[in-house]
Amino acid sequence: MNLVDRVNSDSSKVKIGLIQQYTYAPEITRSVNAAEKLIEVTWVQDEKEGVLLLKEHKIDGILTRNEKAPGSLALLVLKKDSFHTIAIVQNISALQKAAEGNGPDWITDIKSLHQGGVQRETLPTWILMLILLIGFIILPAQVAEEKEKNCSLRYFRLPYMKSSG
C-alpha cells in the first residue's frame, strides 16, 4: 500500500500505455483516469507504438489483451523483476479493490520484452558441473598418478610423527 499512498512528485507516478483500438472494461478506464496522481496514462495507436515507447523508457508498461484469458489484461514490461512492474501491479490491484472489491484480477499475465539471459539462468548448472568435473575427473586422476609413483597417502609420514614398528 506504500506505493498507492504516495502523493508527492511526478517521478513516483507509474506510466502505463493503453491501446486506443482495444476496448477496456469501463471500471478499468474509470479507475485509471481517476488515479491521475498515481498513474500517468499514454494512449498509443497499437502495440508496436507502445513497445517503442517502452524501449525508449517513456512508459513503464502496456496493458494489452490477454489471449489466454479473454476479458482480462496482460501487462507488457521491459523486465518482469523490475520496480516498475511491481509498482504497476500494486497500483492496478489497489484500484481494482477500490472499484470492485475482490473480483477476478484485471491483470492475469505479465510478459516481458527482455528475457533473462541464458547465462544467468544456467549459472547454477555450470557451477554444479564444475564441482562435479573437479570431483569426478581431476581428483581421481591425481590420486591415480600418486599411486603410480608409490607415494600414496598411506605411506606418507611427517617428520614429527613417531614410527610404529
Q: What is this structure's pTM?
A: 0.56
Taking a C-beta distance cutoff of 8 angstroms, is the pair 95, 103 a contact? no
**Cell matching residue 51:** 513497445
Same domain, 31 and 75: yes
57: left (phi over 0), alpha (psi -120 to 50) or beta: left
Task: Give 59-92 pLDDT, tens digit per residue.
Answer: 888 888 888 877 788 888 888 777 888 888 888 8
Residues 74 and 136 in one domain: no
Grid cell digits, residue 9: 512528485
At residue 6, the pLDDT reads: 47
CA distance 40 to 75: 15
* Secondary structure E strands in the chain: 14-19, 39-44, 61-65, 73-77, 107-112
Same domain, 10 and 71: yes
- The reply to whether 103 and 26 lie within a common domain is yes
Domain residue limits at 121: 117-165
Q: What is the CATH number for 37?
A: 3.40.190
| Cell numbers linked to 33 | 483516469
Place of cell 507509474: 14
Average pLDDT over residues 116-135: 73
- Judged against a pLDDT cut of 50, whether residue 1 lies above it is answered with no
**pLDDT mean across residues, the chain:** 76
CB atoms < 10 A from the CB of 142, how many?
Answer: 10
**Same-domain check for residues 70 and 35:** yes
Higher pLDDT, 99 or 120: 99
**Does one domain contain both 14 and 40?**
yes
Whether residues 158 and 131 share a domain: the answer is yes
| Cβ contact 51:57 at 8 Å | no
- 37 & 82 share domain: yes
Domain total in the chain: 2
Proportion of the chain in helix, strand, coil states, percent, rounded to 5: 45, 15, 40
At what angle are helices 83-100 and 26-34 packed, to 10 degrees? 110
Q: Environment class of residue 44 by beta-carbon count within 10 Å: exposed (0-12), middle (13-18) or buried (19+)?
A: buried
Q: How far apart are CA 137 and CA 155, in angstroms?
A: 24
Report the range of poorest mean pLDDT among 18-27, 103-112, 119-128, 130-139.
119-128
Q: Is 77 helix (H, G, I), strand (E, B) or coil?
A: strand
